Amino acid sequence: MREIGHFIGGKNVAGTSGRTSDVFNPATGEVQAKVALASVEELRAAVENAKTAQPKWAATNPQRRARVFFKFVELLNQHMDELATLLSSEHGKTVEDSKGDIIRGLEVCEFVCGIPHLAKGEFTEGAGPAIDMYSIRQPVGIGAGITPFNFPGMIPMWMFAPAIACGNAFILKPSERDPSLPIRLAELMIEAGLPAGILNVVNGDKTAVDAILTDPDIGAVSFVGSTPIARYVYGTAAMNGKRAQCFGGAKNHMIIMPDADMDQAVNALMGAGYGSAGERCMAISVAVPVGEETANRLVEKLTPKIESLRIGPYTDEKADMGPLVTRDAYNRVNGLIDRGVEEGAKLVVDGRGFKLQGYENGYFVGGTLFDNVTPDMDIYKTEIFGPVLSVVRAKNYEEALDLPMKHEYGNGVAIYTRDGDAARDFASRINIGMIGINVPIPVPLAYHSFGGWKASSFGDLNQHGTDSIKFWTRTKTVTARWPSGIKSGAEFVMPTMK
């Protein structure tokens, strides 16, 4: 049985807590590895390594820090097939989908290659009588990231790339469900020239999370996961004097206007709703057709496509989607489908009971489609995180707009239309953080910031883009005046520019 430990001080180390968690093959249901769950002492050992290494790294000029990421990007491209297969073997998503996961993280690494420019401060000559004023950005010191299972490549890189480029050391606590890829990324960072101790990977559960949130030497924490845990992490971090950005759940709607290209809208829903078996925080899980005719055409075109989805293990190159990540996820999604039937939604395509020959014990759920879903139903209110799409029919545009506006989550939303006025009005009025206009999954590129509104996000700075540079640095402002500009005698009044 393969054993997965931690990555501390530039090398792989075995766990010492005596506690482990099973890592499954989602396609077969078999345990393929045991991952160590860190104790408080093991987390502290990683912090001590980071604390020792960070000052020298912070003093390294930004061009040299950037060169590490230039080399890291090169290594990611060289090892892409290996990394994607490793990711898929523990998560279950297709290898091509895993490559997309890694590439979206790689793009943030490309972005931070510009750190010499991104981290520049500001200067004002002659801000006052013989006074110059300037601001500089300095690293927080030690940052930490707590990442989810669904993007074990992308989200760790979204966090550690800007943090490390800014001169910080970093503690990564990945999901214990698919922990191998984050450790491999840390190994490649060392190969790229990163000093030992700057990136440490500590596997664990709530014990490790709480140790991160209360450790006095960790200055900033980034989190992605469910909304209840995001609230907990944000509140606990704040109480312990840490800066925090925490991203929670989602219930992403896609509005289909009567003038939309229906074939485009249906294809968009297929990819956005069923890609990665719906285990994406930006998955479209609610389709909102405007008008009965639009709704009928949508359901008519969706149904045969969902029924013909090719579902298989990650080794099936032709598979559209794979299994869910664990047995618990499988039971939860099936339970929510049961709940939708109980609540009176029309089950058009039923994904329960899907079995794949040779993989009968895998965590596969077939593509599922509900029609006539209403906002009071649990399947509408809850983030299902599975291959389940709900159709909520709206009489008109205002009623359709009202649905995402009133939902507690505000991560992403999309509209499909040919009407520029409707699209512009939608983008202006909607209270959601990321908006797609004829784009189903509006995840911004690396040089813009990623983040939702409402119960989807806690903290005032988002991930990647310039927000990430601000989050992982502190601003220091210097006001300077040299002796030749200083008047003789003490001044007892508040200095002003009068």
Position 86 in a domain:
yes
The predicted model gives 404-408 an average pLDDT of 98
pLDDT (0 to 100) of residue 488? 74
Tokens, residue 188:
């490649």
Rounded to an integer, the average pLDDT of 251-270 is 98
Residue 249 has pLDDT above 70, yes or no: yes
Query: What pLDDT shows up at residue 414?
Result: 98
Q: Are residues 186 and 266 in the same domain?
A: no
The beta strands (E) that lie in 381-472 are given as 388-391, 409-410, 412-416, 434-437, 453-454, 457-458
Question: Is 492 a residue whose pLDDT tops 90?
Answer: no
Distance CA 247, CA 451 (A): 7
Q: Are residues 288 and 219 in the same domain?
A: no
For residues 323 and 360, give the distance between their C-alpha atoms in angstroms, rounded to a whole number: 11
DSSP per-residue letters across 269-300: HHHHHHGGGG--TT-EEEEEEBSHHHHHHHHH
Asked whether residue 304 falls in the same domain as residue 336, the answer is yes
CA 179 – CA 324 distance, rounded (Å): 16
Q: Annotated catalytic, 246?
A: no
Same domain, yes or no, for 68 and 191?
yes
Residue that the structure tokens 């512009």 belong to: 424
Mean of all residue pLDDT scores within the chain: 97
pLDDT band at 496 (very low <50, low <70, confident <90, very high): confident
> Does residue 284 belong to any structural domain of this protein?
yes
Q: What is the pTM of this model?
A: 0.96
Q: How confident is the model at residue 56 (pLDDT cuts 50, 70, 90)?
A: very high
Domain span at 324: 252-437
Instruction: Answer yes or no: do 421 and 467 share one domain.
Output: no
**Same domain, residue pair 241 and 273:** no
Q: What is the pLDDT of residue 427?
A: 98
- Name every residue whose Cβ is closer than 8 Å to that of residue 424 and which is 6 or more positions away in sequence: none
Q: Which of 109, 113, 166, 281 is catalytic?
A: 281
Residue 445 belongs to some domain of the structure: no
Is residue 128 very low, low, confident or very high in pLDDT (cuts 50, 70, 90)? confident
Write the single-letter amino acid at 203.
N
pLDDT 10s digits, 2-50: 999 999 999 999 999 999 999 999 999 999 999 999 999 999 999 999 9
Digit-coded pLDDT (tens) for 298-354? 999 999 999 999 999 999 999 999 999 999 999 999 999 999 999 999 999 999 999
Longest dimension (CA), the chain: 90
Tokens at 176, concatenated: 């214990």
Same-domain pairing of 16 and 91: yes
Residues of the chain above pLDDT 70, percent: 99
Do 349 and 269 belong together in one domain? Answer: yes
Q: Look up residue 127 and give its two tokens.
A: 């801000």
Using alpha carbons, select from 113, 181, 192 the residue that is nearest to residue 147.
181
Asked, for residue 448, whether it belongs to a domain, the answer is no
**Count: domains in the chain:** 2
Asked if residue 485 belongs to a domain, the reply is: no
pLDDT more than 90, % of the chain: 96
Predicted confidence (pLDDT) per residue in 222-237, tens digit: 999 999 999 999 999 9
In a domain, 490, yes or no: no
Q: How confident is the model at residue 498 (pLDDT cuts 50, 70, 90)?
A: low
For position 77, which CATH number holds?
3.40.605.10
